[in-house]
């Protein structure tokens, strides 16, 4: 984490779990062998002893996930409001203690929307209310940089390559990957990145948010709250995600793999500096 500066950090545990577990399976030839599968466990979030939500997570970054969730849902505006974050896997809980309490909890928790997140995602009314106060400056990105980034990110999906069943998200600058996380849901992986950004004072300016999952309205919201104006996905987009990206001025690039990508929003921010490969004519048979 070289792009950081010293700042306040709450007292936090370091209770990450092993990402995968060995299991015995029988393959298509009736042969028994051992493979790995990702972990998945509930983590119930309490803030000042008040239950907020239960997240299903792989458990490798529980403290960052917690902080990112509170940040992206706009429950807590400043890291300095948080005194401590304590994860206890025996009770499947994480307890957040604030210095002076959080005003307006009843109002914040009143309305929630279940989203299309892998597992179950939620968006609260306070998240939506603060969305349009976000100001995202335009970011230009070279076609060649996108290709280089896609090459680099292919080396980061370690848990997926070993065990499958997870999504990955990365915070990138140019073709460099600053932070990469994997979890059973892409929204969890995104929140964990937001938590690390908060802890290490990493700005979203001039960054690219990469995900292996689809670009829904929820992911667009999270990127906007992290101050990131460029989204890059290996998967596709939804219509609501696209409409929101267009409203917020977010460049949305999807179906990105190898030398292929589609720009759904913000094409004027892409510098196309490579020519398409010359296709060879088909030989008549």
Kindly give the confidence (pLDDT) of every residue in the chain, 285 residues in length, as a single tens digit, with 9 standing for 90 and above.
445 456 899 999 999 999 999 999 998 899 999 999 999 999 999 999 999 999 999 999 999 999 999 999 889 989 999 999 999 999 999 999 999 998 877 777 765 544 444 444 555 444 555 666 778 888 999 999 999 999 999 889 889 988 888 999 999 999 999 999 999 988 999 999 999 999 999 999 999 999 999 999 999 999 999 999 999 999 999 999 999 999 999 999 999 999 999 999 999 999 999 877 654 555 544
Please state which of the four CATH numbers 3.30.479.30, 3.10.20.10, 1.25.40.10, 3.40.50.300 is assigned to the domain occupying 11-129.
Answer: 3.10.20.10
Which CATH fold topology does 141-271 show? Answer: Cytidine Deaminase; domain 2 (3.40.140)
Q: Do domains 11-129 and 141-271 have the same CATH topology?
A: no
Q: What is the dihedral of CA 211, 110, 85, 55, to 10 degrees?
A: -50
42 CB-contact burial (10 Å; exposed 0-12 / middle 13-18 / buried 19+): exposed
170 token code pair? 């990365």
Predicted model pTM? 0.86
Q: Which residues are 180's β-sheet partners?
A: 170
pLDDT digits (tens, 9 = 90+) for 6-15: 689 999 999 9
Laid out side by side, the sheet with 11-12 consists of: 11-12, 82-88, 93-98, 41-47, 50-57
For the chain, domain boundaries? 11-129, 141-271
Distance between CA 108 and CA 99 in Å, rounded? Answer: 19
pLDDT digits (tens, 9 = 90+) for 185-209: 889 999 999 999 999 999 999 999 9
Secondary structure class of 62 (helix, strand, coil): helix
């Amino acid at each position: 984490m070289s792009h950081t500066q010293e700042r306040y950090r709450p007292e936090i545990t370091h209770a990450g779990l092993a990402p995968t577990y060995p299991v015995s399976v029988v393959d298509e030839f009736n042969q028994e062998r051992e493979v790995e599968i990702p972990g998945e466990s509930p983590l119930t979030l309490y803030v000042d002893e008040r239950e907020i939500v239960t997240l299903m997570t792989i458990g490798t970054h529980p403290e960052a996930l917690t902080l990112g969730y509170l940040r992206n849902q706009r429950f807590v505006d400043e890291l300095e409001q948080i005194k401590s974050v304590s994860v206890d896997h025996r009770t499947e809980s994480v307890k957040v203690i604030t210095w002076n309490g959080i005003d307006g909890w009843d109002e914040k928790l009143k309305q929630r929307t279940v989203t299309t997140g892998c597992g179950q995602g939620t968006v609260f009314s306070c998240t939506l209310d603060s969305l349009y106060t976000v100001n995202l400056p335009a970011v230009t990105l070279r076609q060649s940089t996108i290709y280089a980034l896609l090459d680099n990110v292919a080396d980061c999906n370690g848990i997926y390559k070993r065990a499958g069943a997870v999504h990955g998200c990365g915070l990138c600058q140019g073709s460099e990957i600053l932070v990469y996380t994997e979890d059973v849901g892409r929204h969890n992986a995104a929140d964990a990145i937001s938590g690390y950004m908060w802890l290490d004072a990493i700005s979203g300016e001039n960054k690219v948010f990469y995900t292996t999952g689809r670009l829904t309205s929820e992911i667009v919201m999270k990127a906007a709250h992290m101050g990131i104006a460029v989204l890059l996905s290996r998967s596709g987009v939804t219509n609501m995600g696209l409409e929101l990206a267009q409203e917020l001025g977010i460049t949305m690039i999807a179906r990105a793999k190898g030398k292929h990508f589609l720009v759904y929003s913000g094409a004027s921010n892409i510098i196309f500096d490579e020519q398409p490969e010359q296709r060879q004519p088909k030989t008549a048979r």
